[in-house]
Chain A
């Protein structure tokens, strides 16, 4: 039976992983997400479900352990935070290139460099613009609550195995550390080795029985083959955009202005919208749930309805570029965001909306959609 609990985001994620039937977790300590491996070690999941949990000697080793388990078809994941994710990026590029299913969790902290251990959303570019080398993308889910930290584990694995691709859950220190009520699902049975071998016999390297050998590699020395591989990856991403893009619209029906924000910033912006509406300012929120595939079309349509858009993100301005791309100059798009680990308040968001958008002299000077067609 499902269970209602009060938990930290990091711990809800770990518990949800056990309940989702994850086969293996490989991690390494780094604030603000060490609770994930601490919780897993405390729960002794090898006794509960047979799940393997191992602390590696580095994030690099951990992501390559993920690669190893994934190459045999196991449900495998890792979690880290910003600097640790930078160390994992080569491995993530290998996972994408070798077409392996895996889930990586980034509980983002302030950067660059050692940065700070306080929350941030400054890894947006790293997450959605590749991060590692080569032509690949990551399917990125951005939880905005402890509930979503739990729910997105199963969603991420569904996508990972549907596309045989690495999936990133982009959280942040705020969501990882804060406690909220969370409904946890029932325990899902882990697949037996026999079931797994049968299901993934066409590709998983589980030992050559009476079939052709299975090779897991991202190497193609012949360019023609490498290009085919890249095209195969791109086809996946197109399909992700068609079938698995997720977003949420809040108070947009009568909105004259729009805030675009994900994760913690979306939660804070909802309060800013309340404050704004109390002052008669009709503003709505578009919350991307997947950062790739990004909700370009809904944003493009909303740009016809509103006079201006504020992108709110705990960084110096990253997602704002994608908002501008999606809006295609129909209306002004501005960024607001505290950095360095400081969390902007709803009042600050409202003030930015007023200064940067409502009092923006370019409001109304933009060609409307009809005239732009003529």
Chain B
């Protein structure tokens, strides 16, 4: 059987979801943002809830999420997506509201919004892509930049004596009663991506059941910022990022693991 017989439409088992536009992703080759976008849209597509889903995009590399996600989406000021999402969820209690944010957005300028949105237990999903750096602005140190990790604003490596240790945001918010589900995933291999997709699906199901905040951290690579090829970055991530930011569920159904 030659390839042409196999690639008939009826034999297709996987393709891009229609909830992603045809706009070329602005993300660097191999960047986890693309995968995270697609997994999220695939979940929304499979749940058939696009007509009731409202996304909130941040400021950062994924500020242009609205060019790629084929859903209704509002783009928030830097760090304020959780507040924007709070209001939408309060005014539209039956909608699926999610924020999609980076580490600088959620864990630096937006820390107060993150903490208080989680503490109020808003019925939303927070997707938090942690790549340990400010990507959009050219590779500066982020709250999640690892100790000793170089960046354009920590050229000699992050010095914990002057800049403290990286913030474990998911563990932090998991302790707030308003958080129903808190997990840390990644998307750089098929196994991780499938698990991440299940986590995102569970999060949106939690929203359906009005359970409060579902907080999904996705540890991802930043090839340009880390100055590595995608495969090198993924290896480095497994060795260094996962050591400090261990993957897995931290809180499920309202109970800490």
Inter-subunit contact B83/A68 (CB<8 Å): yes
A64/B72 contact (C-beta < 8 A), A57-B116, A207-B50, A209-B51 known: no
Q: Map CB proximity to A onto B68-84 as digits: 1 under 8 Å, 0 otherwise.
A: 01111111110010011
Neighbouring A residues of B84 by C-beta, 8 Å: 64-65, 67-68, 71
Which of B71, B88, B112 contacts A71 (CB under 8 A)?
Answer: B88
Inter-subunit contact A76/B73 (CB<8 Å): no
Inter-subunit contact A206/B113 (CB<8 Å): no
Instruction: Give Cα A58 to B83, complex, Å.
Output: 10
Q: What would be 15 A-B contacts, judged by CB atoms less than 8 Å apart?
A: A24-B87, A56-B83, A58-B112, A61-B83, A64-B77, A67-B84, A91-B80, A98-B75, A205-B74, A206-B72, A207-B50, A208-B72, A215-B74, A218-B75, A219-B63
Which of A56, A62, A94, A215 contacts B73 (CB under 8 A)?
Answer: A215
Neighbouring B residues of A193 by C-beta, 8 Å: 92
Instruction: Give Cα A67 to B73, complex, Å.
Output: 12
- Nearest Cβ on chain A to B100's Cβ, whole angstroms: 14
| Best-buried of A68, A94, A218 by chain B (most CB within 10 Å) | A68
Neighbouring A residues of B57 by C-beta, 8 Å: 217
Interface extent on B, as a size class? 20 to 34
Q: Map CB proximity to B onto A66-103 as digits: 1 under 8 Å, 0 otherwise.
A: 11110110101000000000000011001000100000
Which of A56, A65, A216 contacts B74 (CB under 8 A)?
Answer: A216
Which of A26, A57, A217 contacts B87 (CB under 8 A)?
Answer: A26
Inter-subunit contact B95/A216 (CB<8 Å): no
Interface extent on A, as a size class? 35 or more
Neighbouring B residues of A66 by C-beta, 8 Å: 87
Inter-subunit contact A72/B91 (CB<8 Å): yes
Q: Does A11 contact B (CB under 8 A)?
A: no
Instruction: Give Cα A76 to B83, complex, Å.
Output: 14
A207/B66 contact (C-beta < 8 A), A64-B83, A64-B84, A67-B84 known: no
A24/B83 contact (C-beta < 8 A), A67-B77, A208-B72, A216-B73 known: no
Q: Does B56 contact A (CB under 8 A)?
A: yes
A217/B66 contact (C-beta < 8 A), A52-B90, A58-B112, A67-B77 known: yes
- Nearest Cβ on chain B to A225's Cβ, whole angstroms: 12
Neighbouring B residues of A90 by C-beta, 8 Å: 77
Q: Does B235 contact A (CB under 8 A)?
A: no
Neighbouring B residues of A76 by C-beta, 8 Å: 87, 91
- Nearest Cβ on chain A to B138's Cβ, whole angstroms: 15
Q: Does A128 contact B (CB under 8 A)?
A: no
Which of A54, A91, A213 contacts B90 (CB under 8 A)?
Answer: A54
Q: Does A305 contact B (CB under 8 A)?
A: no
- Nearest Cβ on chain A to B28's Cβ, whole angstroms: 17
Neighbouring B residues of A205 by C-beta, 8 Å: 54, 72-74
Which of A57, A67, A207 contacts B76 (CB under 8 A)?
Answer: A67
Inter-subunit contact B72/A61 (CB<8 Å): no
